[in-house]
Every structure is written in structure tokens, then in C-alpha cells.
Structure 1
Amino acid sequence: MSVSIDIAGLRQTGVPPARAESRAWERVVAVPSPLAELGMALHALSEPGHHPGLQGWVTGVTARLDPHLADRMCEADFLWRTTFSDLFLPCAGLPGGALPGGTLAEELDLLDKLSDEQFVDAALEFTCALPYGTPVPGPLADEGLRRRSLELAAARGPQQVRFTERLLADPPRTRAWLRQFLQDCDEAFFAETWARLRHQLAADTRHKTDLLRRKGLAEALAAVSPAVTLDETAARITVDKLGDGRTATGDGGLLLVPTSLGWPHLMVLHRYGWQPVLHYPVGSPELTAPPTVEQLALRMTALSHPVRMRLCRHLARSAYTTGELAQVHGMTAPEISRHLSVLKKAGLITTRRRGRYVLHQLDVTVVARLGSDFLEGILR
């Protein structure tokens, strides 16, 4: 599973071969976005469990947040709680390869330039299961989709119904409400946060721009995340995610937008007709490359077997030979070998030779990254 971005449209026609590489990626731009970072700030405040490293910041902001603003934050939290609405990157929906604004006010002006149809479709995307990657009429034009939007909103409670009814009845008024809410959040807590973060994000975009210029797109994407790869022959970027999607740069470009508050979320805006965006975390505590989705599936499958769980309990404490494990577990050496092979293929154990013996041991660091509950269970 992955999200792919067709970048064939980035290649220029009639470019001399000697200059093709430098011209091919001239519409790939790394740029910070205050509005996108405000969206991540709202997400972290609504779902602090996703961001344990921000616990201190969340606690500090929440403690001084005006109760009325906190209530308003709940009115449309589906735009940022579960995931991240494309409304926080409105430049991607505008023609001509628009870029994020340098200030929040400039980006809110870009949000105002979206059509009512774009605004409503993006606002209802996650909660009303609207089509994302295909060109179909939205709920403003399609009465069936309007009814479906209201039905699905009803399943999420009266507050969502009220917001959806208001959105469908009067998009400009709802847009004005959202703009005022975001401005109030800026005044209450975000302006101070952005003043602290914008220098780090600007430095990261300068670094990515330098990599694009000196070493090319593949190096720049590798610096964005190990989960992002480039196939230059196929003119395709692949983002390893637990989900499927595809988009293309077409006549537009590709935006690389960093976030300081967003780790571990690596998001791809791949809405039909919008400019693709890679929204990626910087300054994360992740010291090693994250596993691919295939590796993650292998590891979860390997740990789901009760025998292998018991093996992990022993291997977490010390290194053992196959014969020792067979004796402890009352199994044959070939049976133990088969289970060890599964664990090794999943990257969960290490082996080393000591004389004529081969010792196996659990890689506790890898297991810890999968989940502390499992690690605590086998160490208990």
C-alpha cells in the first residue's frame, strides 16, 4: 500500500540534455506554511496521545486557553482531530502553482479564494466519505451526496449535524466563522508558538532547496523521509503509507511543507485537481528509518503467535541457542528454528556466533518502537 505521485509533468520539453536534470525539478518547492502548522497545533491539542513529545506544550496552552475558545475548538474539530484537512493547505487548490503565504493572514486570504465547492468538499472529506481522488460533483451540486453528508454527520452526534447543516446552507458564513476562529487561535496561543518554530522550519526548507539544487530530487526526498522514494525512470514518487492513493503534478508543481508539531505524521495531499503536497515532520525524535508497511505487517504477524511471544520473553533477557530454547519450551530444534526464522525475517532478533554455537537475542529497541505494552508484557 502506498500513495504515488506521477511527476512526469515536471519534466520540461525542449530542454538540452546537459541541463535536463536542473530544469526537471524547478517546480518542486520547499516552503513553510503557518496555516498548516496551526492545523497541526489544533490536532495536537485535540489528540495529545498522538504527540507525547508535545505534552508540555499542550498542557501549557490548555491551561491558559479561554473556555469560550476551547468550546469553539470542538465545533469543527473533525477538521483536525482525526487527521488533517486540506483546508489548511489552500494554496494547493488554487491554479497556477500557488505557494503558501509568508504570514497566517496571507494564508487565510488564500483560503478565501477557494470556491464554495472546494471549501465544502474539503471540509466534509473525512466525516462524510466524499470522493477524494475522482472528479465528481460535491454535495452542493449533488442532492444525493448532500443527504449522505447529513446522514453520516448524524452518526457523529448533534454538534456535527449542526455544523454540516450550516456549512451546506451557507458556505460563506461558515468560511467566515472558520477564519475568525483561526485568527482567535493565533492571538491566543499560535502567534507565540509560530515565532518560536518558524526559524527551524525556514532552515529546513533552505536545506531541502539546497539539496534539490546540488544533489537532485532523490536526495531531497530521502531527506524528507525514508518512506518517500523516487523512481526517475517511471517519473513517480512513492510514499510508503498504510493506505492507497495516487495523484499527479500535471501542469502544476510539488510542494514540500515541513511541520515541527506534526511528528510522526507524514501526510500527502493527493486531492483530485489540487497540487500535490508532502507535509513532513522535522526535528523528530526518530533516530532510525521507520519500517515499511510490509515490514510492519511482518513484525505484527510474527509477534501474534503464542509460541513466538514466549520465545521473545526469553530472548529479551538473554541470548540463547536453538537447542537451549528447544529444551526450555519442550519442542524440537527444527520447530524452534522455524519460529526463529519468522522472527529474524521480521527483523526482531539478532544472531551472533560464539565458537560453534549460534546465539539469538531479541532486538529490544525494535520491539519498543512497536509498542511499550508488548515490551512491558514480555519483560514482566
Structure 2
Amino acid sequence: MDVLEKLTILTDAAKYDAACTSSGGSRGPKKGYLGNTSSSVAGCCHSFSADGRCVTLLKVLLTNNCVYDCKYCVNRRSNDTRRAAFTPEELADLTIQFYRRNYIEGLFLSSGVFRSPDYTTELMIRALRLLRETYRFNGYIHAKAIPGTSPDLVEQLGFLADRLSVNIELPSEMGLKTLAPDKTKGAILAPMKQIQTRNQQSKEELVKYRHAPKFAPTGQSTQLIVGATADSDFHILRLTQGLYDRYRLKRVFYSAYVPVVEHALLPSKEVKPPLLREHRLYQADWLLRFYGFRAEELLDEEHQDFNPQVDPKCSWALSHLDFFPVEVNTADYETLLRIPGVGVTSARRILSARRAGRLQIDHLRRLGVVMKRAQYFLTADHKMTDGLRFTPDSLLRSLVAAERPLLPQPELEQLSLFDSAGTA
């Protein structure tokens, strides 16, 4: 099998891994090295950088050979599929050739578990060391840390990569036991804790020694599969909150389960991926990271799943009508962020604009407020939109109508990740 055949197989096998993210880091040009990493160019496969440019990584597996038999995975050992494996030399050379042709701006490297986690990680380290030391590649690298890998190898991997990720995949321990019996909660969380601790130590060392080596300088991320098990949105969101609090993850990614295999414990191939549910989880995740919400505010034991008709922020507002209306001329930043239709940028603009004088309703749209949602929840100079009348029931219908044009009909499929990120 030649390298191009391997590339076809191993890039296709990597397509279900969503935890491929822009780095947000900086690795400036260095004399004698090839490439650079900066917040303006680093990005993920077919995604967008901070300045709006489309950028890409080579997203590939080292091998799709795997000793594990995770029932949801197309690469599991019992599945009849074409197998391939790069040598470290082939992968390093391929990455450099793609970079020189301006096809990519970095590498996202994952792998099936070939022989053992340690053996697979050793191969990944050899490939990345060739890139960094032989080819002098200074561009962005995101590498997957395999659960069960020895701490020494995880440390070596972290000094070669800009970002590491350890995929949890299934949100509950029961799901792991049922669908991925070769994996354990402890084996997944141990490298997460190591990466978080070692990353913090590296930052402290850099304060003392400017040229100290950097360990995974842009942090770590993970991925959760949505819909393969019966776990509720509440369970998934609480797990997400815990990961952000305990391990300081940069991102948690959600991947709607795509039925690619037949198994009695999994949804049938006729079931469509829960794309709208994935979209709602991304919106809720955004609220956790940038809007000051907590998981227990958005869902609880009595309401364990998001309302598919409206976004999580509107759903929270409908359950807390006593919090509204908010007067935009006096509310603080955190309170403004609670208003549906007001985002981070528009909240800051409101704070800035009201220093020059009292705001009126007709000013808000020009400040970026999405009035078709926000008008029900705010006042400006103690006035609402002229002629606005509504009841709790009609309010829900209005918000559903405002949301519906954003979702393709008739299946209400999800928006892209970046549309969800920009939704207030």
C-alpha cells in the first residue's frame, strides 16, 4: 500500500474526531525553522481563525489498527474495515510536503491503539520529533494523548505538541463499561490531570526562565459523544462544568453519534444523528465559558434536557421571568449578559455608549442587540418597544418563531459550530 492509499484510509478514519480546535497560541518565526504558529493563522480543519480566515490542519490517524473493541467505533478490532498505518517517517514527510505546498498550516494527529497505548504513543512521539528536530517544523501540532499511556510518554508528547486532548467519548462510567469495556474512567482522567498540572508548572517555569521548554502551551481539550447512550443533557453539561473547573480545559467538543455500525446496544443505522441536540449543547457550553452561567442554572433534575425549540439562554429566561425586564442604563455587565439577544460584544458596547448619555430603545439595535429576542426582556430609560404586548405563552411562540429561520427545515438540523458560537 502506498502513502496516498494510506492517506485516504486514515484521513477518512479520523473524520469522527471533533476535538480539533484552533490553538489560540503563539509560536513566532524562528531562524532556521519552517513555519510558525500565531493566533491569526492557527486553526482547525476547515475552520476559521480569529481574524475570520479559513485555515486547515492535516487531520489524520497514525493508524486505524486498534486492539480495543469499542462498540460505537468504526475502527474497533472486530469491525471489517481496511486497515493502514503510517510509519513515523512517512507521516513526518507527508506533513512537511503538504505544508510546503500550502495545503495545511499544521497537524492534528490521533491514532487507534496499536498493540498498546505506550507503543502507539512512542510511534507518535517519533513522528513529532522528526517534525520538530529533523525538519525543524515550527507550526501548530495538536496530538491525541491515549488513555492508559505512561506519564513519562505523555510528558514527552506534551513538549512536542502545542495542544493535547484526551477524549472521554462516553459521558458516564456505565456507558464506558457497556460500550467501551477496554477503557476506564481512571485511565482517562489520569492524563487529563497530568496535563493540567504539568502545563501550570511549565507556565511557572517560564516566568523564571524565559527559554524553558513549553508543555502543551495552548492547553487541552476533549470530546463527548452525544446520543450513543441514554445520558441526559443535564448529565453531559454537569460533566462539562466539572472538566472546566477541575482540569481547566480549553474546550469540550460534542459529537452527535453517527450510526456507522449495527449493535443491539446502539441506535440503529436508521436513526438520524441528533444534530440539533449537539447544537444546543454547544450553545450551552458557550454560556458556561463566556456568559457566567453554571450547568445547574440551565438544567436540573426535573428538567434534564434542553428545549429543542429555543436556545438555552432563552429557555433560562422563560423560567426566570421575575429577573426581567432589565434596565440597560443601570445594569452591570453580568446582568446584561443574561438578556437573550445580548452578547459579549453588545454588552460591552452598551456599557461604553451609556457613558455619553442615556440609551433609548432605538439605540440598541445599532449596538448589536438582537431585538427580535431582547425586546421582551429589557427596558431602555424604563421603556419597552412601543406597542409590545405579550403573555408567557405568546412569548414562547414569539421566541420559537425568531429561532425557526435559523434552523434548516424540515429537520431543524444544527447550524455550524461557528454560527452557534456567535449566537447571543
So what's the TM-score if we normalise by structure 1? 0.28
Instruction: Give the number of the structure whose alpha-carbon radius of gyration is greater.
Output: 1
Q: Tell me which protein shows more helix as a share of its residues.
A: 1
So what's the TM-score if we normalise by structure 2? 0.26
